[in-house]
Amino acid sequence: MSAPAALGAARVRHDGRVEIEPYRGELLAYCYRMLGSFHEAEDLVQETMLRAWKARDRYDGTRASVRTWLYRIATNACLTALEGRARRPLPSGLGTPSDDPGAPLAPALDIPWLQPFPDARFEAEVRSDMRLALVAAMQLLPPRQRAVLVLREVLEFSAAEVAEQLGSTVAAVNSALQRARSALADVGGAEQVAEPDDPEARAVIQRYVRAFEAGDVPALVRLLTDSAVLEMPPVPLWYLGRDAYGLFIERVFAMRGRGWVMTPLTANGQPALAAYAPEPGGGHRLHTVQVFTVAGGRVARNVVFSDPRVLDAFGLPLTPSSGGSHLPR
């Protein structure tokens, strides 16, 4: 995992005043990786900026850069917020897959589900290393290990800088990093998947859209890996394998009808789609955001989000523009 060591153009101005606003985007991405919630990350970044603004006259540029100072404030805010909190999972992290395509779709609203990150609102550098599976795996780490992993391997702070940010030692930081790496390897959090702009990934998603919009389940199933996963937070059940995936999609079409419209986007640096379901009286309405993992030229995972707050975060229209997906035919 890696990212540029500095983003934005924040500086200490010639008059000695600290500029902090240019760091907002990367701080949001950091807090999201820590918390697994886009909305909570927004709140903590606002808290971080407020704390920094109040303390700006006490900032000492001889001890730390503005960026290091801001990340110390943000890290403390995240660690405080995570005290006593349950981790944010995906359904596949909670139990065995369902073998019943007709199981009740009852949302578990008491579970703090992992949320996706809306890429279109931020610069590409901010969005690196935020694959859903990786963020979900990181939620298994103790909060301080999580902070060390992101600060060292994604944001490329030195061990000494991270020790300063955490009020720790270099030896403790290095030890925590090793434990975090080992834990992620054990849960498979570092898998390699296709990027959204990869031509093969784009082609797979285009074929998926065409099959879904046509209501062609056999064509859709042919695009899946043998062990494809379909999960739908806040519904806690999930499905494993091409057959189970296809049977559930048949159920979706039986319940909501065929003739859906899909609009391409990206989330967490992965291909994604906004899905618009047909309305009984005509037209379409926003139904879900679906985030895909494409590996080996096939769809390996689809995480379907229906929470209205998640949909709002993407700033999507309630009805599809110009009535279609605008994919090349």
- Tell me whether strands 235-240 and 261-267 are parallel, antiparallel or unpaired: unpaired
pLDDT band at 193 (very low <50, low <70, confident <90, very high): low
Separation of first and last alpha carbons in the chain: 36
Task: Answer yes or no: is pLDDT of 309 > 90.
Answer: yes
pLDDT of 186 higher than 90: no
| pLDDT of 3 | 42
Mean pLDDT of 306-318: 95
Domains in the chain with CATH codes: 21-187 (1.10.10.10), 199-323 (3.10.450.50)
Residues 6+ apart with CB under 8 A from 149: 138, 141, 176, 177, 180, 181, 184
CA distance 120 to 265: 8
Q: Which residue would you say has higher pLDDT here, 328 or 82?
A: 82
Predicted confidence at residue 233, as pLDDT, reads: 97
The 10s digit of each residue's pLDDT in 141-160 is 999 999 999 999 989 999 99
**pTM for this model (two decimals):** 0.89
Which stretch, 86-100, 115-129, 181-195, has highest mean pLDDT?
Answer: 86-100
Q: Residue 85 — φ and ψ, nearest 5°?
A: -85, 145
Confidence bin at 59 (pLDDT 50/70/90): confident
- Cβ atoms within 10 Å, residue 326: 13
Per-residue confidence (pLDDT) for residue 149, from 0 to 100 = 95
Tell me the average pLDDT of the chain.
89
189 band by pLDDT with thresholds 50, 70 and 90: low
Confidence band (pLDDT; 50, 70, 90) for 15? very low
**Dihedral sign (CA 302, 45, 70, 119):** positive
pLDDT at 290 over 50: yes
Higher pLDDT, 83 or 322: 83
| Host H or E run for residue 270 | strand 270-278
9 pLDDT above the threshold of 80: no
Asked if pLDDT for residue 315 goes beyond 60, the answer is yes
